[in-house]
C-alpha cells in the first residue's frame, strides 16, 4: 500500500557543544588571559510542509532520525559550529503528536511551513564568557546542553474540498471514478476502499475542486468498530461533507442519522461543516419513487438524486457542491 497516514518515529535533536576552557599562550605572552570560545548549538528536528507530497510513505521505514551535535568551542574565542538541522518534509495536513502523552504539537497546513519539533541543545559558554573584574582567569566552562530524544507520531489528515461520507458499498468510489480521473478499487462488497482516494472534479470554465473518498463508516466506528477512527480524522480536513446513501436503503433518514451521530461522537465540530445528501443508485428505482420518498428524507440537509453508473444527476450535484464551496 502506497498510502501511509501514520508513522511513529524516535527523533533526537543534537547535543550542544561544550565551551572551551583555554588560556592564550604565546612566545611573548606566556600567561595570557582566557580565550575559550562557546560551543555550537545542536541541530534541530524540523518539519517542513511540501504540497507535492500526499503520503508519509517515505518515513514508513525510518524509525530513528537523529540531528547532528554542535561542535565544542576552541581557543582564540572561536565558537563551535552549529549542528546541522534535520529537515523532514511532510505532506500538508500532517499533525505532530507526542507518542507518550498524546499532546498535539502543531499541524502543517501550508507549503514551505516549518515547525521545530525538537530543539537542539544550547552550546556551553567558554571561560572567556565568565571573566569579570573579580574573576579574571576563570578555569571553568559550561558543558553543552543535551539534546532531546522522544518518540513522536506523525498523522496525516487528507486535505480536500469535498469528503464523501457513507456506509460501505454506498457508491462513493464509483462516484469518484466517474466524475474524476481517479481509479479507486470498486467492488460489490463492504470495505472495498481501505485507504482514502483523492480526485480532481472538473467544473465549468476550467474551474475544479478536490474530492476525497473516505473508507466506509459503520455504526460504532467512533468506538473502533470496522476501520474505526483510523480514517475518521481525514473528514476533519474536508470543507464540505457529501453524505451518500443508496436508494435501496430501508430507512434513509435513520441511516443518515447514524452517520451524523458517528461524526458527532468522534468530533462535534464536524457538525458545523456544510452538508449535502446524495441518494445514489437511482437507476434501479422506478421513476415515481422519487416523488414518494421525498417526504421521508431528512429535512435539515439539501438532497440530490444521482446515479453514477447511468450518469444521472451528476451535473446538478456538482452545481450544488460548487455553490456551497463558493459560500465558504
Identify the pLDDT of residue 222: 44
How confident is residue 189, by pLDDT bands cut at 50, 70 and 90? very low
Asked if 1-156 and 160-327 have one fold, the answer is no
- pTM as predicted: 0.70
How confident is residue 2, by pLDDT bands cut at 50, 70 and 90? low
C-alpha cell at position 60: 514508513
Residue 296 has pLDDT above 90, yes or no: no
Identify the pLDDT of residue 100: 93
Buried b (16+ CB within 10 A) or exposed e, 30-67: eeeebbbbbbbbbbbbbbebbeebbbbeebeeeeebeb
Question: β-strand 94-98 against 114-118: which pairing, if any?
Answer: unpaired
Identify the pLDDT of residue 182: 63
Q: In the CATH scheme, what is the homologous superfamily, with its name and number, of domain 160-327?
A: P-loop containing nucleotide triphosphate hydrolases (3.40.50.300)
Strands (E) in the chain, as ranges, are 6-12, 45-50, 64-66, 86-91, 94-98, 104-108, 114-118, 149-156, 160-165, 197-202, 208-213, 238-246, 275-280, 303-305
If you average pLDDT over residues 126-132, what whole number do you get?
92
Bigger pLDDT: 166 vs 320? 320
Residue 172 and residue 215: Cα distance in Å, rounded? 9
Residue 247 and residue 239: Cα distance in Å, rounded? 25
Residue 178 and residue 283: Cα distance in Å, rounded? 15
Residue 53 and residue 93: Cα distance in Å, rounded? 10
Residue 124 has pLDDT above 60, yes or no: yes
If you average pLDDT over residues 42-54, what whole number do you get?
93
Residue 80 and residue 18: Cα distance in Å, rounded? 8
Identify the pLDDT of residue 21: 93
Distant-in-sequence, close-in-space partners of 324: CB < 8 Å, separation ≥ 6: 240, 274, 276
Bigger pLDDT: 318 vs 205? 318
Share of the chain above pLDDT 90, in %: 41
For residue range 5-26, list pLDDT tens digits in order: 789 999 999 999 999 999 988 8
Residue 22 and residue 268: Cα distance in Å, rounded? 62
Give the number of other Cβ atoms within 10 Å of residue 299's Cβ. Answer: 8
Identify the pLDDT of residue 105: 95
User: Do 17 and 36 form a contact (C-beta atoms < 8 A)?
Assistant: no
Residue 293 has pLDDT above 50, yes or no: yes
Identify the pLDDT of residue 230: 60
Identify the pLDDT of residue 81: 95
Pick the CATH number of 1-156 from 3.90.1170.50, 2.70.210.12, 3.40.50.300, 3.30.70.20: 2.70.210.12
For residue range 218-267, list pLDDT tens digits in order: 665 444 454 555 667 777 778 899 999 888 888 888 888 888 888 888 88
Domain limits of the chain?
Answer: 1-156, 160-327
How confident is residue 181, by pLDDT bands cut at 50, 70 and 90? confident
Amino acid at each position: 500500500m502506497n498510502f501511509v497516514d501514520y508513522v511513529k518515529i524516535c527523533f533526537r535533536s543534537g547535543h550542544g557543544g561544550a565551551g572551551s576552557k583555554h588560556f592564550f599562550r604565546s612566545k611573548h605572552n606566556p600567561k595570557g588571559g582566557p580565550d575559550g570560545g562557546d560551543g555550537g548549538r545542536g541541530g534541530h528536528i524540523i518539519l517542513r510542509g511540501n504540497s507535492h507530497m500526499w503520503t508519509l510513505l517515505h518515513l514508513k521505514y525510518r524509525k530513528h532520525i537523529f540531528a547532528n551535535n554542535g561542535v565544542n568551542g576552541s581557543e582564540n574565542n572561536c565558537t563551535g559550529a552549529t549542528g546541522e538541522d534535520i529537515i523532514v518534509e511532510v505532506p500538508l495536513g500532517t499533525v505532530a503528536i507526542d507518542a507518550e502523552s498524546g499532546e498535539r504539537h502543531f499541524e502543517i497546513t501550508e507549503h514551505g511551513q516549518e515547525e521545530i519539533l525538537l530543539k537542539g541543545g544550547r552550546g556551553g559558554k567558554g571561560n572567556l564568557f565568565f571573566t569579570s573584574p573579580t574573576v579574571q582567569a576563570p578555569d571553568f566552562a559550561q558543558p553543552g546542553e543535551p539534546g532531546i530524544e522522544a518518540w513522536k507520531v506523525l498523522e496525516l489528515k487528507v486535505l480536500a474540498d469535498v469528503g464523501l461520507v457513507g456506509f460501505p458499498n454506498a457508491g462513493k468510489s464509483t462516484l469518484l471514478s466517474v466524475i474524476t480521473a481517479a481509479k479507486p478499487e470498486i467492488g460489490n462488497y463492504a470495505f472495498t476502499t481501505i485507504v482514502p482516494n483523492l480526485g480532481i472534479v472538473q467544473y465549468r470554465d476550467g474551474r475544479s475542486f478536490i474530492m476525497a473518498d473516505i473508507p466506509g463508516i459503520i455504526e460504532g466506528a467512533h468506538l473502533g468498530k470496522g476501520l474505526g477512527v483510523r480514517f475518521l480524522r481525514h473528514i476533519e480536513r474536508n470543507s464540505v461533507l457529501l453524505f451518500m446513501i443508496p436508494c435501496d436503503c430501508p430507512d434513509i433518514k435513520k441511516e443518515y442519522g447514524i452517520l451524523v451521530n458517528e461524526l458527532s461522537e468522534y468530533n462535534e465540530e464536524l457538525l458545523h461543516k456544510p452538508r449535502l445528501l446524495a441518494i445514489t443508485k437511482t437507476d434501479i428505482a422506478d421513476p415515481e419513487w422519487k416523488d414518494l420518498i421525498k417526504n421521508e428524507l431528512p429535512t435539515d440537509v439539501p438532497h440530490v438524486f444521482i446515479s453514477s453508473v447511468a450518469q444521472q444527476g451528476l451535473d446538478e450535484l456538482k452545481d450544488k457542491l460548487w455553490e456551497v464551496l463558493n459560500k465558504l
